[in-house]
Structure 1
């Protein structure tokens, strides 16, 4: 890698644009970067690092992980920018970076934020052109790291040699050296091996403990099955408790298997005895049930016969009531045959009265000379009135036409007034049209100009809102992370506590299992373990005894605590992932700043959007006005045409009405009456209608009288046939429908009861049972219940014995499999534990107590010491060389990363902390150069043609300074360029190529001296 040119603009202390020509400075191989304190020498190196990696060295980051790159001296409109031109991997590249920064708005007041920008270009020698490769921060970062083969930390240690760091490296302990070397050399695969072995060791030990626990749990379950069955089975020999042993104890598996075989034999014998006892109880129960069934049937028949006798007595007592209800129901059904004729008689009488009333009303409406006339006279008078009415038809039509013309003239007059008003309104609107048209056109033009910034502001607002939302999520998740970590720690402790609690309860229950079994003993009943009827000294529960329920409860609590811990771990991992994602999306800036920016953009966008939204309504208003303009023109023409047409029509109608009036006035009344034609015609029509109505009403009254007489005759005949003397008697015999149904139901019930009693008294078995003495059914039921209880007890005991035997068989097979699985688990746990302890440096076989990572770093340190000794030997005139030391550290500290210096003058090896200030500088410089060579080789052998050495030369005497400069000058032999950063005045005389940083009140500047 070789640097060519660097351009800084508004960067750090540099207010303006500054250029660094590394090609010119590197002509002699060495160049000096100097200047007053605080002028900005380190900022030049920061600019190189920022251009390559987008960040400055980690030591110069702020406490919040951010650094301010923009110059406080720069003008607000000057952007901060760094441009670096370099050759790496045979390719000439140019990297341009601009950080996120604020600038004044182009229009309006306030500021806006420009996003960070990055540009990578490559120079093509064949065409002499620069071609853009990428603008993506991520792509450019990956490209640079791939070409250099180094991370930012490695670059800052290898190319920007910080002498103070290596001086501390010389005097630090193994842990501090491991941290620096771990950043420079990729040892993650070795730390991964350590973690993997440690995790595997924990898993292997957990698997071994789980296998032992499972075996003991199976033994405990077998003993529980035997103990629970023992309380229900018949007496028999007792089974000894299972062997007491801790997980991991030798011989545990053999003892468990031997006891399981004994338990299986024990439960098999108990099951066989229980089956025999159950068969005896089942035979006794069957006999008792048969006896009870026979006695119950006899008692049931005796009860049926007694009940039939009582029912027959009640039926005889109700005979008189049955006859009364039968007769009432028969008269009701006879009366129902007369009811239709009664209703017909009543209907005919009602119609007759209504017809007579209608006839009287119709005659009352006639003139006096026609009221008492016969029906034929009324029909003749109607025909005469109809004839006179026809003579007035022509005069009536002429009068109706004259009235219609009058109405039409009034309508034309009203329509003419409306048309004349519309014509005047249209003319007035058209007179105001030019001014209205100009106003609407100006509104459209103004609203169109206001829509220019909506798209830009919308995009900026979306970005700002997304960042603000992400920042809020980031801050919220940061707080939730702390709470989640605290909660996870609490849950881990709770899970460990519940596990200890469960194991303690299990151990205490096994210790006191004899007392638990003794609690089920009852006087006179066999012991569930030994079968004895005597219990001289049953074991008593101790004060701290734990039962099975307590053990199950603590186990459930432990499992629940483990589930809560695992859920909390998953939640914490998810929170970590979401917090990192939110921080990346939010970028730099606090939540308040991002929300303020979003609020500002929202206000600006609302104003612009409101102005842009007026364009559509304005155009629509203009279009509506133009359409109305054309409509008004058409309305003006149409209204004028209608006014002219109405005038012509009115004159024609007036002439026609005048002619009809003259014709009507010449007519004479046809009937000699007074009034107009219409009144005379209406009076004749009313008279004819009244005469016709009176004639029809008389005919209807005569027909209704005939129907009433016929209905009376039919009713009298039906009453005589049904046995009733009058209609009132038939009506009284009727019963409501509900009462009829109830009466019929009672009669049917009595008849059914008679048939049922006849059947009962005909049964020979009932008569035979009635002759026997009463049955003692409760005694038989008591004997059957006792036999059933004994059968259930025997059945339960047999089922329990069979279940216990099956459970013991199944559990013993599981125990055999578990015992076979323990041996390979123990061998694997021992092997992995030995490897994990060896790589962690805690094994007795690791005499140096070196971890695997330390062993690898020690090899790298040995290479660095060898490379550094080549230069230190020359700087110290052959006196000093650096050697790696792996001697054992005291007090259990990490070993393997020791560093000593060999003094050729004394022939002794001593600690690097004994070197003087100048000797320390020489050693640290040699160490830095050696480290640069080794890291470069580790990174893929990338050639480093530009190096920087920072400070430390002031501690050297003149002779040592000469040796150091000669070593640096020797780097030039391999076409390297070395920049020295120093305040030492002597170097200004010895190094002609210089880059001076000049400090001013308004910002620093750069000055070349070549």
Structure 2
């Protein structure tokens, strides 16, 4: 993390300030100082950084409950909105920084009042984070603080201890608790994985414990059959399975008998249906015989239908031509042509007249255009002259207004000057002190500081006296506590030695080896028993598989016979179907049904088929459908038989494979039995022990291991107690030593304070005497003796006011002289502008007279509102209209002449068409009479009237009757043939009788058989389920026992890890790991401390995270950090801060460091050493800012940010390099 710039507005005493660390001189300097008087606003810069990043400050971070009235708002004392400058409606803090991802970000904190008014209600502060790359808002409100922590890698507390060491927090890390140090070190070094590991160990131990308990409970849910129950259920299962096979054979035989009966009933039903259909078709043929005869005549009449249609068409054409010829005779075009010729001569005369007028007016048009040009030029000159007059008049008005304003300002300045002189005369003592004010101000400030030091020393002396009394009373009980802790440590050490002797008597490795041998022997014996059991089960399975193989072989042979019978039946049905199909194809209707539009007939070769039908004769179609169904049934039966054969064959192959697998498993189990026997023999005398003896010895060994674990745990607890006792003893000894040292220090402090108070009183008297010589206002000195700070501030404001009055008086004198000079210039300008205005008005009058003369001359030729272009366009439009009328009349005459010619030709054509129609009508009637004479011998009832009647009717009706007659005839033949075939099939079916029972009797037998099979099936399923569940329970119980043993060993491992390292928060392992980090940190800190102070060295107390110091001047005595003085605490804290900066890992790179305390407590030599150490950080690319008003520091550090107080209670910032 590295700061780029800081900007603050209206915070505390600073109204507006920006510090850019990438601009010179801060860019080239790694060490800079923030200097200024007390209360000027140096720490406000650090407050602005904290506000922008975390929305709170180090000075206001305590969570106080008290509230304060803030311009009508009740807010807490620690609310950062208290930093808003009084009298301001809004304030803000903005920080640009580089995050841990090397990207630039902007953090903003803003506070404002309602309506942007000073008296408005204080609104909630706004907090936002932006990415500078694309100016996008990435977080706001409460999420902004979390975003800052992610980008920087530090929370607020860690930030104030590692980056921004604010007032009263500089030694926070030095005096922090163990957990706080561990958290900060973990964050800075990026070693939070140890906390996560500790938490993971705790969670895994917890999960393992739950899993172990659940597994133990699950073992109780398994139950096994006894050997007697297993044998009985196995025998019952085989008996039920055999009974099921017998029931299946009986069911199959009954189904075959039912199929035979159902087939006979179906054939008999079809015979009855076809007899009924045959009688119905014969009745329809007899009823509609007259209609069928008329349809046959319609077929004959269709031959002459085109002749009758042509005759009707010729009659219609003759009527149309006659009508059109009469209409043409009514039209007369000669009179209309004569009228248009007279109109043509009139339009030619008008055209000649308009052209003569156009030529006569051309000179007048040119003269009007010349006058218009002169008028336009005159108007432009007149407009310019008028605008010039207006401009000069406006300037003249402005000059007069400025003259009046200057005269008024002179009068006002004279009044102000008189008032300021009266103010100076009213305070002669203050005016007398003005020349010496800078020296007088320094003397008064010094007096105030000495008075403050005197009060501080008095309080310090009083506190030291009280501490001396308290420390003296505390030493005695601490001495007794040290003796008591020494005795307690000795007792724990004696107990620890006794535990070591008891543990040494137990040989842990020998016990583990013996237990492993016994457990291996038990496992081998158990595996041998399991192998024998599996061999027995495999033998049973082998016998069962062989029996199943034999049964499947018999079923396969039976299926082969059924398949052969099905093939014969398919061949028979195929022959019957082919014969019927052949007979159907011999019928003429079948041939017609095969005809397709546009394709040649196989008989005659024609492509048009007027007598074709769209469907096959119903009789033959039904017959074909029946045989096709029989063929499909036979093929389906064949397919089913083949499917059963394939299934039996696949099952037989699977059984053969299963038999081979079972034989292989039997061989493998035999080999495994031999290997287990060999392993058992290798264990020696363990193989001769019974299971009870092995379990007994394992229990004894487990008790010894438990005893060993308990003793180890007791030893660990005793060791921890011993360490705690030693730590407590060291702490009490250290506390006693620190108390004695503190007692000596406070006694020395009391004497030192008495000496300093005497010196301060003498200095105060000398300075007061010098100041009274410069300023002798007795009333003010009386106030100063009671309230020095308020008196000094009031005098400062009084002198600043007099300085301001004097400065304002000088400015007024200069302003009055400038105003008199400006008034003289303006009077001269006013006279010159008046003369210019008169000349411009004379030019306007002359141009206006000329414009009036030009308008009068133009009006004589053409009205002013009409332009010459419009006059010329009107004349040209008259000429064009006359020419257009002549052209239109010529076009109309030509059109009428052409129409007269077309009429004559059309009349001749119509006369010729009438002659041709009469000839065609005569030819058509002759052809009709000839055809009628040829057909009457065959159909005597035919005549012209009957033919016209038939042709007038819908021919589709006659076609439908003809098709219906042909369909009924074909259907009659098909039904008769099918009936003969069905009667023969029924006779053949009855010849192969399979039973004399009825379908009802067969169904009753089948239902009874199904009930018996269902009962047997239920019993078989129950037995088979019990056997399957028993096998599963045996396998699962063995698997669970193995899992339990492995899980128990795994749980013991995690239990030990959790006891040593795990906890819910990860604090235990984190503190252990960060102890090493703290040691590394102290190495870095001691390197810096070596250059800061040769006397002290930092060290870790035992294996904890507590810090102590080693005093080299007191024979390397170890002391508490709380015994350090203010200056010593600053040096040690500075060394730790520099060590933290060196320790920061890549995860949290600290590129900026600010120090806001402590330099005033150092002597000049130590201060120089501290600054040298800070200078060394520049080589590491860090920027270090120190806040102090110590003069030696400001002289040593060249780059400074100076915060200066200004009149009015605000401060300004200046960067000096």
Q: Same fold by TM (over 0.5)?
A: no
Q: TM-score, normalised by structure 2?
A: 0.37
Task: Point out which structure has higher relative CO (alpha carbons under 8 A, 6+ apart).
Answer: 2
Higher helix share: 2
Q: Which entry has the higher C-alpha Rg, 1 or 2? A: 2
Q: TM-score, normalised by structure 1?
A: 0.43
